[in-house]
Chains A and B, each alone.
Chain A
Amino acid sequence: MSPVPDIESVKKEISTAILDSPEALESFRLKYLSRKGIITEMLAGIGKAEPGDRARLGKELNALKKTADSIFKNAQKELASSLGKQIRATDDPTLPPPPFPAGSLHPLSRTLDEIKSIFFQMGFTVADGPELEDDFHNFTALNFPAEHPARDMQDTFFVRKNEHRPEEDLVLRTHTSPVQIRLMKQQQPPLRAIMPGRVYRNESITAKSYCLFHQVEGLYVDRHVSLADLKHTLITFAGHLFGSDLKYRIRPSFFPFTEPSLEMDIWWQTGNRSGQWMEILGAGMVHPNVLKSVEIDPETWTGYAFGMGVERITMSRYEIDDIRLLYDNDLRFLDQFP
């Protein structure tokens, strides 16, 4: 039997023990508090003491056990929380995460999307046609006179030109209006559709012009369609796209395929175009000659048509002053349109 250590020295031992690891804590528990630990053994040894000392000894040992217990529990608690505090270099939530690509839609897609959703809301559907178009759809059916400047080689990309049989000419469409013709030939009124797409102009590429751009065409043919209906549709559209407090004006213009024809300007109040009227679209009542060309009786049916440039609207909204930015596809530009 090992000599029974005196209470004071044990008291000193336990109060100075360094309990900074789970291992130290465990050996402390084994040494003092386990069933074979010193204090338990000392408690067991009370019976061997003088009967007069037993009560005092019991009291002191119980106090010692309590102290050891509380030292152990405190150390245990402390160690548990300090274990959490032990950090590695990468345990730093402010470090940037690995790049996770978000993807983006091109600004032209975004504008087009908004335009489409406004017209979908107004009951328009969508129709499609080719970018490479024939003379009939691009010019003749749209009431372009034979000697119209757009028909000569100036501004139009020709893919096939036959001086003697101009009806065989093929061009890169100069506007989305030919889709109107395709739609009216394909379906009977009432018709209500928009026709977005890419169109071409034979121009050199500069900050202000590109050899192609995008348009959204609209067509509504029904009984009793009037200029008042057109005006109402355009104002509703512009209000949705630019805000209902916008200032606009509608002024007469000229297109071969509409009569009366008009253009809509809105008063631009922001950015570098501030304080100017800006033309946003052209429109008009479908010319009776156009309806006749697709065998729709203009006395029974009337209609309106409109067209707008997606680039123009995009460029003014985002204050883009160089059209080439839209086609360079510079990441530093694209990333601004997540």
Chain B
Amino acid sequence: MKISWNWLSRYLTQIPDPEKTAEILTLAGLEVEEISETGPVLDGIVVGEVLDVRPHPNADKLVLCQVNNGEAEPVQIVCGAPNVATGQKVPVALPGSVLPMTLPDGSPFAIRKAKIRGELSSGMICAEDELGLGDDHSGIMVLEPHHKPGTPLATATGVRGDTVFEIGLTPNRPDATCHLGVARDLAAVTGAGLLKPFDGLPDITGKLPAGTIRITDTDKCHRYAGILIQGITVGESPDWLRQLLLSIGLRPINNVVDITNFVLHELGQPLHAFDYDLLADGRIDVKSFPETVAFTTLDEEERKVPPGSLFICDGEKPVALAGIMGGLNSEIAAHTTNLLIESAWFEPAGIRRTAKSLAMQTDSSYRFERGVDPDITAKAALRCASLILEHCGGKTTGMADIHPVTTQPATIPLRHERLNSILGVALEEDKITGILNRLEITTTPEPQSRPGARMAVWNCQIPTFRPDITGEIDLIEEVARIFDYNKIPDPAHITMANPRPIPFEERFREQVRRAAAGAGLNEIYTNSLLPETWLEELGGKDRVVQTMNPITRDQSLLRTQLLFGFLKSAAWNFNRGASGVAFFEIGNIFRKERDGGTWIPGIHESTHLHIGLAGTPHSGHWKSPVRPYDFFDLKARVESILRQIGLHDLLHWQQDGDQLHLITTDKKFAGTLFMVSRKWKERMDIEPDACSAELDLRVLEEQARQRRDKAYRPVSRFPAFEFDLALVVEKKVPAGDLLKSMHISAGSTLRSVDVFDVFEGGSLKKHQKSIAFRLLFQDNKKTLTIRDVEPVIHRILRDLGDGFGAELRS
């Protein structure tokens, strides 16, 4: 919303400079987001008197003028205008001034003392357009003869530059949608007097004939004031009015329309002027229709207005879309002589609905939607009428103020003690009532009802232009914002609520994040919303949570896994020349669930950890050959993370076709590792191999909760005994099963087993493979010898033979 500083100053006995004004407004809650200078800046331009005009000795089209600028001595100015003449009062740009226009090369038009064709010129006599005061370039601007030489032109003409504030208005402040409302806040802070333009306006005694204005839908229109003015002349608005409208970005149209616009931005009350002679039967009815109505608004658009929308109708037809825009059929034209001024109160929700369904927002609908003061209806109509009489002529012949629903000002008690306690201040009574009263909130102290109550309670009457103030807390805010939040002192002492421990899941999640970065992975953040076209791949309609109204189809489905974000990020990097990626992400995934639900019934929402590798770690190195990331690089990183978070011995691996699952001791599914399928790689446009691990952090966290700090295991003082075993088994036998079996058979002296070779071909049969294990035996109480280990080896071999058909490789 644009607010002009010049305009504001009309309603205040005094106003700080524009910069200070902006600061005050911002700190009072009307945030000035942008400050801009508009209109002509007439610094250094004064009234001059032409004392003498002589021909230029070296140029036919130029003359030499002696000009009195109010200085002791007249100066010579060279002028080329055909209309310059002795005795004229003219605008003179003094040397050093800058005209509000640019030269053809874009540089500023700076005035200097210079010789023109050999004759000295100390300034420039200006035309209207050169000062930004109009379009006229036919000759110099000639001023009224009574101006004194040397008077600044801004003072002489009353035209000055302006500062315009762009205010980011919060939705709770309908009162501040106009200059008077903004001025009220400013006055409340500075203590300046507020000058209300409708104060002292005479009432209109004539009445409109009964039945001229009728409100059929009284629930949608609480009040309607109309004033009939006859015999006006439509023409151009005065300069000051045009300037003010231009400064806030409104195009002047004609004096009648300009005045209604002016009052809207002055008082916040939208007005409409009908050509009275175009109203059938000369009457108004405010009503809605049960059907869609085709209606052509002022902007010459035919609109299909939905049923229930409120219209202003004449004796036959709709003539305005209530609170939004007038109709083309009753528009003010150059020949209009009789006017009906409308000032009304329309119910906000109805206006919002209609405006929204038609995708229209006008200065009028913007205000009605927020709530216009139901008490200003008639005042605004009177203010408008008085300006029309002044600038358009005519006379008022009658007024009607139909007011079927009245709004009583609310009364809210405010406790002094509560105010100080909420704000943490010790404000005096006078300070509080002073602020409230300047905001036109009256404060009546309540008689002390409770014996011993020391602090005051006020009954505050809330003006109708502040529908946002509905409770004591709102009054407290009013006092605080005018007082200035920045002036609230620091608390005398700080209390800290007995701090609660940081929850386990928070600490666990951060531990995982650090472990993943520690495993050499780059953390990524990816979009939770995925394109509509992936529905089937994500799990289909029964599984995938869909948004109903995405702004684009690319943000339609909630991710069911983090995999897709990884693949998209990998593709992004491969398309930009990366050789490989090693990423992790921690984020939430969503799934529909028939029974149960994490937070919301029917919705599974869990936090996952995803680890993804693709491509090669580097594109070539002298010491480390180029080798693509493979499944075991992935498994190594997952194990590294599990070890870092202390979960490696609480989980075990389980093979399932091409996938490897991570299973908890209580058989819960904690995650899956796999190579990304060719289908997915093609879909995502990725060429290199990619592998993916997705772990459910909620499951891991449950496991981690059960983990207790254990007493350390003593480190054996006795040397270990190493024994190598090369076994031949069928290819389909998983190494993991052999390892598990060895541990079971061996018992506690088998400290660890490594696989140091895996072999096929050679002397082996086609369906066979050989795996070489290195077993490390160690005892805490003695040095193990072959005599101790031999029976264990036999046991291991027997069990492996029985269980897996494993044989020693010869």
A222 to B423, CA, bound (A): 14
Cβ-defined contact, B603 with A132, below 8 A = yes
For B133-152 the 0/1 string (1 means CB < 8 A from A) is 00000000000000000000
List the A residue with the shortest CB-CB distance to B527. Answer: A327
B529 cross-chain contacts in A, Cβ below 8 A: 157, 200, 211-212
How near does chain A come to B362, taking the closest CB pair, in angstroms?
17
- Indicate the member of B477, B546, B558 with the most A CB atoms within 10 Å: B477
The reply to whether the CB of A242 lies closer than 8 angstroms to some CB of chain B is no
How near does chain A come to B609, taking the closest CB pair, in angstroms?
13
How near does chain A come to B361, taking the closest CB pair, in angstroms?
12
A153 cross-chain contacts in B, Cβ below 8 A: 548-549
A134 to B605, CA, bound (A): 13
A133 to B505, CA, bound (A): 20
A220 cross-chain contacts in B, Cβ below 8 A: 497
How many residues of chain A have a CB within 8 Å of chain B?
Answer: 86
List the A residue with the shortest CB-CB distance to B524. Answer: A329
The reply to whether the CB of B569 lies closer than 8 angstroms to some CB of chain A is yes
Stretch from A3-11, A41-49, A105-113 that touches the partner: A105-113
Cβ-defined contact, A101 with B617, below 8 A = yes
- Indicate the member of B524, B525, B572 with the most A CB atoms within 10 Å: B525
The reply to whether the CB of A190 lies closer than 8 angstroms to some CB of chain B is yes
For B544-568 the 0/1 string (1 means CB < 8 A from A) is 0111111110010010000000000
B502 cross-chain contacts in A, Cβ below 8 A: 120, 125-126
State which residues 585-624 of B face A: CB under 8 Å. 587-588, 590, 598-600, 603, 605, 617-618, 621-624
How many residues of chain B have a CB within 8 Å of chain A?
Answer: 91
Cβ-defined contact, B490 with A326, below 8 A = no
Cβ-defined contact, B423 with A133, below 8 A = no
How near does chain B come to A83, taking the closest CB pair, in angstroms?
24
Partner of B421, one of A124, A226, A262: A226
The reply to whether the CB of B453 lies closer than 8 angstroms to some CB of chain A is no
Partner of A328, one of B171, B172, B500, B569: B569
Cβ-defined contact, B552 with A249, below 8 A = no
B523 cross-chain contacts in A, Cβ below 8 A: 103-106, 109, 334
A101 to B633, CA, bound (A): 13
Cβ-defined contact, B474 with A211, below 8 A = no
B480 cross-chain contacts in A, Cβ below 8 A: 227, 252, 260
State which residues 189-208 of A face B: CB under 8 Å. 190-193, 198, 200, 202-205
State which residues 116-160 of A face B: CB under 8 Å. 120, 122-134, 147, 149, 152-153, 157-160
For B162-186 the 0/1 string (1 means CB < 8 A from A) is 0000000011110000000000000
State which residues 314-337 of A face B: CB under 8 Å. 326-332, 334-335
The reply to whether the CB of B473 lies closer than 8 angstroms to some CB of chain A is yes
Cβ-defined contact, B495 with A328, below 8 A = no
The reply to whether the CB of A175 lies closer than 8 angstroms to some CB of chain B is no
A113 to B189, CA, bound (A): 40
How near does chain A come to B561, taking the closest CB pair, in angstroms?
15
For B472-491 the 0/1 string (1 means CB < 8 A from A) is 01101100110001101111
Cβ-defined contact, B488 with A252, below 8 A = no
Cβ-defined contact, A204 with B545, below 8 A = no
Given contacts A231-B485, A249-B27, contact A131 B528 (CB under 8 A): yes
The reply to whether the CB of A269 lies closer than 8 angstroms to some CB of chain B is no
The reply to whether the CB of B26 lies closer than 8 angstroms to some CB of chain A is yes
A90 cross-chain contacts in B, Cβ below 8 A: 622-623
How near does chain B come to A87, taking the closest CB pair, in angstroms?
16
The reply to whether the CB of A288 lies closer than 8 angstroms to some CB of chain B is yes
The reply to whether the CB of A287 lies closer than 8 angstroms to some CB of chain B is yes
State which residues 270-308 of B face A: CB under 8 Å. none
For B493-527 the 0/1 string (1 means CB < 8 A from A) is 01111111111011000100110111111111111
The reply to whether the CB of B334 lies closer than 8 angstroms to some CB of chain A is no
A161 cross-chain contacts in B, Cβ below 8 A: 548
The reply to whether the CB of B213 lies closer than 8 angstroms to some CB of chain A is no
Q: List 9 A-B contacts (CB under 8 A).
A: A120-B502, A132-B545, A159-B558, A161-B548, A190-B497, A228-B491, A253-B29, A263-B31, A288-B471
| Residues of A bordering B, CB below 8 Å | 90, 95-106, 108-109, 113, 120, 122-134, 147, 149, 152-153, 157-161, 170, 172, 190-193, 198, 200, 202-205, 211-212, 220, 222, 224, 226-229, 231-232, 249-254, 259-263, 285, 287-288, 302, 326-332, 334-335
A103-B518, A226-B424, A254-B29 are known; give 15 further A-B pairs, CB within 8 A.
A103-B520, A105-B517, A127-B503, A130-B599, A134-B600, A204-B552, A229-B495, A252-B477, A254-B171, A259-B474, A259-B477, A260-B481, A263-B31, A302-B421, A330-B576
In the A-B complex, the 9 residue pairs with the smallest Cβ-Cβ separation, listed nearest first, are A228-B424, A226-B424, A252-B29, A101-B520, A254-B170, A260-B477, A190-B497, A130-B599, A103-B517
